[in-house]
Amino acid sequence: NIKTLQLIAELNISRSKPDVAQRALSDAKLIMESLDARFRQMPRILKAQGVNSYWLGKIEMDRLRWTEAAIHMNRYRHFSEEPVRSSPNDPDGWLELSYAVTTQASVAMGGRDFIVAAEAFSKAIELKTKLLQDAPDSASVAYDLSNSISWLARAKAALGLLADARN
């Protein structure tokens, strides 16, 4: 069962057993990839695939394996884009996409790819600004937006774009 494997993985991540977690996540990924195409497009399967990709990427981030982390985080973003396409008025879909883009930016920062990081943080800011316009009282989105702005400044500073970083 996909959900059971995801829970096993999250439990083992919390117990600092990334190898066990990675095996459970890889097994869940294989199950989801073996599903008929029409089932893979179901919202709950897309969400499960996104969660799976996130955790596989997080394990690689913790190991400082940036190339491998980027592969999984790109998949996370892909699976987060699909619900936005099918339900463009669902703020939860947009929020998940903003998290996926922010995570991509974090991986790029870790891998010292500051151009990609700056582009991804800019996209995350765009998404979070849209979310904040739709829900102006959301403290968590406001915090996430300010955090992304701060990280964009760091990425631009790393590129030597100090004037841009100050703005």
pLDDT > 90 in the chain, percent:
78
Task: Indicate whether 166 pLDDT > 90.
Answer: no
Distance CA 37, CA 45 (A): 11
Distance CA 20, CA 55 (A): 12
CB-based contact 159:115 (threshold 8 Å): yes
Distance CA 135, CA 142 (A): 10
What is the band of 167 on the pLDDT scale with cuts at 50, 70, 90? Answer: low
Task: Indicate whether 130 pLDDT > 90.
Answer: yes
DSSP letter at 159 equals T
Distance CA 93, CA 88 (A): 8
The mean per-residue pLDDT over the stretch 77-86 comes to 93
Distance CA 12, CA 24 (A): 9
pLDDT in tens, 101-125: 999 999 999 999 999 999 999 999 9
Task: Indicate whether 165 pLDDT > 70.
Answer: no
Distance CA 154, CA 164 (A): 10
Q: Which residue has the tokens 């990334």?
A: 18
Residue 70 vs residue 167, higher pLDDT: 70
The mean per-residue pLDDT over the stretch 16-38 comes to 94
Task: Indicate whether 42 pLDDT > 90.
Answer: no
Task: Give pLDDT, residue 32.
Answer: 93
pTM of full prediction above 0.75 = yes
In the chain, % helix, strand, coil (3-state, to 5) comes to 85, 0, 15
